[in-house]
Amino acid sequence: MTARSSHFDALGRAHMIDVGTKPVTAREAVARGYVEMSDAAFRAISDGSVAKGDVLGIARIAGIQAAKRTADWIPLAHPLPIESIEIHFELETATAPMQPRVAIEASVRITAKTGVEMEALVAVSAAALCIYDMCKSIDREMTIQHVQLVRKSGGKSGPYDRSASRR
């Protein structure tokens, strides 16, 4: 692999990066995002009265399924044998100027030749979309926000921590 890691070959054509010679290492990625919503949608999720059922339970399953299928979403991503996916939700009440929101955090672990950042980001995205789908009859103005990598470990580039990089 060259120093310039790219999804384009010398002629500018898209290709999947060859990870064949990379060492296998323990890797983890954590991503986070939010679904901001109306008070009515937030209350319905909080008290379990959404007509479609257990919003956060179904969103957790959607996130797990999506992480396992990341290579189907992202054309040049490698299909990976994921070892662990954890998805957590936190209901955050409104604080001016923000509306109430659901915080979503996904943690994905693997021992492999390539990282799982995309899998964690896809898990958060799918969970957020599922929340939107299940609550859209209550609030069509929900907003999916700030889907981002929080931290990662393993691999040649080493650890990354968003909070440490903002200093």
Instruction: State the catalytic residue, choosing from 9, 18, 133, 161.
Output: 133
Is 133 labeled as catalytic in the residue annotation?
yes
Please report, as a single letter, which amino acid is at residue 36.
Answer: E
> What separation in angstroms does the CA of 148 have from each of 30, 112, 127, 161?
9, 22, 14, 11
* Number of other CB atoms surrounding residue 74 within 10 Å: 13
Residue 97 one-letter amino acid: P
Give the number of other Cβ atoms within 10 Å of residue 115's Cβ.
Answer: 25
- Cα 18 to its chain centre, rounded Å, is 24
Residue 124 in tokens: 């958060």
Q: Which residues are catalytic?
A: 133
